[in-house]
Chains A and B, each alone.
Chain A
Amino acid sequence: MKAIKKIRGRAVVIPGDEIDTDRIIPARYLKAITFDGLGEALFYDERFDESGRRREHPLNDPQRQGASIMVVGAGFGSGSSREHAPQAIKRAGFEAIIGESFAEIFFGNATQIGLVCVTLEPEDLGVLSEWVEAHPEGEVEVDLEAREVRFGGRTAPLAIREAAREALVSGRWDPLAELLEAMDAVRQLDAVRPGPGKRGGYAGTA
């Protein structure tokens, strides 16, 4: 698994607070048994009207094509636990999201697929957003080791839950391999923990 220490790229601002996962990926795109093609459905109902015509939206802006960093507001990713939301963002080519705050489940889902979510102080975030709006070609750098976001000669301190930062920079953001190492202990717990069972099948002590 790849260690994720630094991300550099052009950015796009998605304005607004409390952007929920239903908006990021409308539920009808969840009717599939794979995550394939989700990138194209990202923010679909905000990018296209009901007849499929493009609306004005930052992701439709030709100048923003190829951006790999998304700048958002507060409470990003609230609502449904659908991993389809971070999957769609990642599959649309984004590697990092910078915001004021993230919803709990979204943050966990994103981190586990190596999509970096970091926060800035509201004031710094405002400065960054304005700078990105004014500099479509400008590059933003998210440095997880130095805990900094850099843009246009400026530096702003970033925040991220330490366990997530550690998992990303050490290349352990997908925990499955580490979880599998402890299967002996897990089986022991299974043996003593109560579990749902038909009458008489209840055998727990712990």
Chain B
Amino acid sequence: MAGKTLYEKVWEAHEVRRLKSGQSQLFIDLHLIHEVTSPQAFGMLRELGLKVAMPHRTFATVDHIVPTDSRKEPFADPLAQAMIEELRKNTREHGIELFDVGSGRQGIVHVVGPEQGLTQPGFTIVCGDSHTSTHGAFGAIAFGIGTTQVRDVLATQTVAMPRLKVRRINVNGRLKPGVGAKDVILHIIRTLGVGGGQGYAYEYGGPVIEEMSMEGRMTVCNMSIEGGARIGYVNPDETTFTYLKGRPYAPGDDEWEAAVARWRSLASDPDAEYDDVVEIDGSAIAPYVTWGINPGQAITVEERVPDPEEFPEDEAALVREALEYMKLEPGRPIKGQKIDVAFVGSCTNGRLSDLREAARVVRAAGGRVAAGVRALVVPGSEQVARQAEAEGLDRVFREAGFEWRYAGCSMCLAMNPDKLVGDEISISSSNRNFKGRQGSPRGRTLLASPAMVAAAALAGEVVDVREVLGVDA
């Protein structure tokens, strides 16, 4: 009999029963909530007269709407203040732990879960946020849900879900210097398409993933959803265990060995069968930049903005629409593209390693943020901010002319004061380059790694970070 994938093992351990529709009723080990997608769910519970079934498996933080320039309350935006108050009220009323602003543990929900050790291998994890796939980096089955499902999980600690197929993605070879996890996932999405993952959970493996840090794996899993896959995961290994040891909510010393043994047993068996297998040559990946209005519209920094004429007719329309919106000229190198804003942060790239990487580029390049460029560094959590400050990274950024902010989602998604204006073009370490995503209906986004963002901030235009770092392409 063939072995099993981690996905199958975790699914089977959590399937309460099969529902009449054929979907599974899946037990959820960890439910993370935030201020944007939970208030309506609590409202529905109230209307139904239901309570939160398992507050001990539910954790809250506030990230989307919090201003990152000032923590003074009431916030300038009364709607934002109302949302944080609602979350405080709901968590208090239902006995849910809230990592509130100023607690030292607040931050972007997908940064906070792992750094607190809430996220553990073999867990099923849900959150009303599509980037919940991030937690798959630990060998968890983690996925975003809608608000009605948030209600379901609050009320029953279970959710109705169809079982997905599993695609194994092997990233082979070794990454070249100056190339990171963000480039790997942008390359995968470009290769398999933004809709390529529909119906699949992605299992990432191969030498490049095995050598990657937990932070890098989180970046890769985070953007699974950008490739259409609701779930992305990496099998747990020593890197995972080392990361988790000693974290506040991880198993303590007395349970540690048993936990590690169990976690090991959850990894996909060597003879597991996959519904699909894809091989990616990691050695061939270069730093990436997006040029369009979805994350699959990406090219390496060595390439030129594509010409719609080069695409089959059914794809050309989308390319034309993207170029028109982005105001980019087909055939021009993306290198040298001027930028107005540079943003380092988000659940994709707002972790300590991302800030270190950006700071390394700033140090290597010397000089300051280019004239006319607004540059922001937004740590993913209060803990990340504290660690970065202890290492002096905030000074590196500030002295070079970057703004150093408080933790939050910031300019990734336009629900707080950090927004593009008019048709400004930003280079951003976030995850989505959708039309209007960064807050202006005409705003434009180039997605890239934190290193590429830092390099562009100083140059005022897209540059090849490898040249700044003095490494060979």
Known contacts A170-B20, A199-B252; is-contact A80 B40 (Cβ 8 Å): no
With an 8 A cutoff between CB atoms, is B70 at the interface? no
Known contacts A81-B128, A190-B57; is-contact A182 B17 (Cβ 8 Å): yes
Among residues of B, the one whose C-beta sits closest to the C-beta of A199 is B252
With an 8 A cutoff between CB atoms, is A198 at the interface? yes
Q: How many residues of A contact B (CB 8 A)?
A: 66
**Would you give the shortest CB distance from A180 to chain B, in whole angstroms?**
6
| CA–CA, A23 and B223, complex, Å | 19
With an 8 A cutoff between CB atoms, is B23 at the interface? yes
Per-residue interface assignment for chain B, residues 52 to 80, with 1 indicating a CB less than 8 Å from any chain A CB and 0 otherwise: 01101101000011000000000001011
- B318 & A17 in contact (Cβ 8 Å cutoff): yes
With an 8 A cutoff between CB atoms, is A176 at the interface? yes
In the complex, which residues of chain B have a beta carbon less than 8 angstroms from the beta carbon of A180?
155-156
With an 8 A cutoff between CB atoms, is B22 at the interface? yes
Residues from 131 to 149 in B contacting A, C-beta threshold 8 Å: 132, 143-149
Residues from 175 to 202 in A contacting B, C-beta threshold 8 Å: 175-176, 178-180, 182-183, 185-186, 189-190, 193-200, 202
With an 8 A cutoff between CB atoms, is A31 at the interface? yes
Residues from 153 to 173 in A contacting B, C-beta threshold 8 Å: 161-164, 166-167, 170, 172
Among residues of B, the one whose C-beta sits closest to the C-beta of A18 is B294
Per-residue interface assignment for chain B, residues 29 to 58, with 1 indicating a CB less than 8 Å from any chain A CB and 0 otherwise: 110000011011001000010000110110
With an 8 A cutoff between CB atoms, is A28 at the interface? yes
Q: How many residues of B contact A (CB 8 A)?
A: 93
- Kindly specify which of A1-9, A108-116, A142-150 makes contact with the partner chain: A108-116
In the complex, which residues of chain B have a beta carbon less than 8 angstroms from the beta carbon of A127?
none
- Kindly specify which of B192-200, B334-342, B384-392 makes contact with the partner chain: B192-200
With an 8 A cutoff between CB atoms, is A104 at the interface? yes
In the complex, which residues of chain B have a beta carbon less than 8 angstroms from the beta carbon of A163?
19, 21-23, 162
- B21 & A164 in contact (Cβ 8 Å cutoff): yes
Q: Hey, which bits of chain A sit against chain B, CB under 8 A? A: 16-18, 20, 22-23, 26-28, 30-35, 45, 49-50, 74-75, 78-84, 86, 101, 103-105, 108-109, 112-113, 161-164, 166-167, 170, 172, 174-176, 178-180, 182-183, 185-186, 189-190, 193-200, 202, 206
Apart from A79-B434, A105-B225, what 7 extra A-B contacts exist at CB < 8 Å? Answer: A22-B436, A101-B198, A104-B230, A105-B130, A175-B21, A176-B155, A186-B53
**Can you give 16 A-B contacts (C-beta < 8 A)?**
A20-B434, A23-B435, A23-B436, A28-B415, A30-B415, A31-B80, A33-B82, A45-B441, A74-B195, A78-B228, A79-B226, A86-B146, A101-B195, A176-B48, A198-B249, A199-B248
